[in-house]
Amino acid sequence: MTDSRIAWAPRLAPYKRPDNRRALLEIAVTVIPFCLLWLAIWGLLQTGYVTTFIAGLLALVPAAGLMVRLFIIQHDCGHGSLFSSRKANDWLGRVLGIFTFTPYEYWRLQHASHHATSGNLDRRGIGDIETLTVSEYLNRGKLGRLIYRLYRNPLIMFGIGPAYMFVLRHRLPIGSMTQGIKPWVSTLATNVGIVAVSAAIIYATSWQTYLIIQIPIVVLAATIGMWLFYVQHQFDETHWARNDGWRRDDAALHGSSFYDLPKPLMWITGNIGIHHVHHLSSRIPFHKLPQVLKDHPELKEVGRLTLWESFKSVKLTLWDEDRHELISFRDLGQRLSASAA
């Protein structure tokens, strides 16, 4: 296991410098294919043939993947790591927020809190997947347990949840309503932008086209994004601690996974699977994260999670403070039955 006491800040400092030319290239190789694919889907759906219609629907998946990549670019803008200019980061982040349905300033505030509290049991609830400890779950009444079970159900977590989060919840600065005017301005301005872009798409095509293409792309991208965020912190070897024992580098190295995806998937998700490095130094541009692993191979085995292994993490729902591990509802039921026996 890599020692989190190693001073990673100076080691990672050389990677933090933004590269404006590379940033423009990354934007181009994401935006241009996305627009071309969107138009191709539109064309396929217009032919009237069943096979091309099905092909158009299948093409929604890679289009959603490119939408995820747009979100990762917006994400780097929020960390100030894409461009050397703060204004360039902020304005690009605001524009991209219209297409990702994510108000930039509001999300940036929430995400900064996530980085500051990730893995801290005493500061949960800001930008996190809700995770109860075993004792907290057992102390809930039947209704409270049922609500938590429903929340952690995969059909809700990765089905209804992402659509609700990005299409509905992001329309108001929920969680930041009392934190000044910025989250409100960001959210409402993004809403106006979404309405304007949606009206333009509908005017140029039709409302049916908008519902068949744009909305599914956003919802699919939201689902992929929710899955990525889930496996980045909810996995078998994750690390949580109470406030008095919490250390930032421990939380980054052992509370964030290295989601070792195949290269095409790593590219389309903007290398965000190298999440432990991102939490160690959030100012590293996403396109430099693979170089960090290449230069520091000891990080490759820290929190490593393959695509197949990640599916097994869905069942992990409760934090056992005694054993320092995530367990499933089934594990808890078996332990309670054994104790009763």
> What DSSP letter does each residue of 256-284 carry, written as one string?
S-EEE--HHHHHHTTTTTBHHHHHH-TTS
**Strand residues in 75-152 grouped as ranges (E):** 132-133
Residues 6+ apart with CB under 8 A from 55: 44
- Residues 75, 96: Cα–Cα separation, whole Å: 10
pLDDT confidence tier of residue 48, bands split at 50, 70 and 90: confident
Q: pLDDT value at position 330? A: 94
Q: What is the mean pLDDT of residues 270-286?
A: 95
Query: Which of 173-177, 244-248, 272-276 shows the highest mean pLDDT?
Result: 272-276
- Residues 182, 47: Cα–Cα separation, whole Å: 46
Q: pLDDT value at position 120? A: 92
Which one-letter amino acid corresponds to residue 273?
A: G
Q: pLDDT value at position 6? A: 65
The percentage of the chain sitting over the pLDDT mark of 90, rounded to a whole number, equals 72
Q: Which residue has the higher pLDDT, 220 or 180?
A: 220
Say yes or no to pLDDT of 1 above 50: no
Say yes or no to pLDDT of 50 above 90: no
Q: pLDDT value at position 129? A: 87
Secondary element (H or E) of residue 69: helix 60-78
Q: pLDDT value at position 2? A: 56
- What tens digit of pLDDT does each residue of 104-140 get? 999 998 898 899 899 999 988 777 789 999 999 999 9
**Domain ranges in the chain?**
8-340
pTM: 0.92
Say yes or no to pLDDT of 3 above 80: no
Q: Which residue has the higher pLDDT, 186 or 341?
A: 186
Strands 258-260 and 304-306, how do they pair? parallel
Asked whether the beta carbons of 213 and 41 are under 8 A apart, the reply is: yes
- What tens digit of pLDDT does each residue of 133-179 get? 999 999 999 999 999 999 999 999 999 999 888 888 888 887 777 77
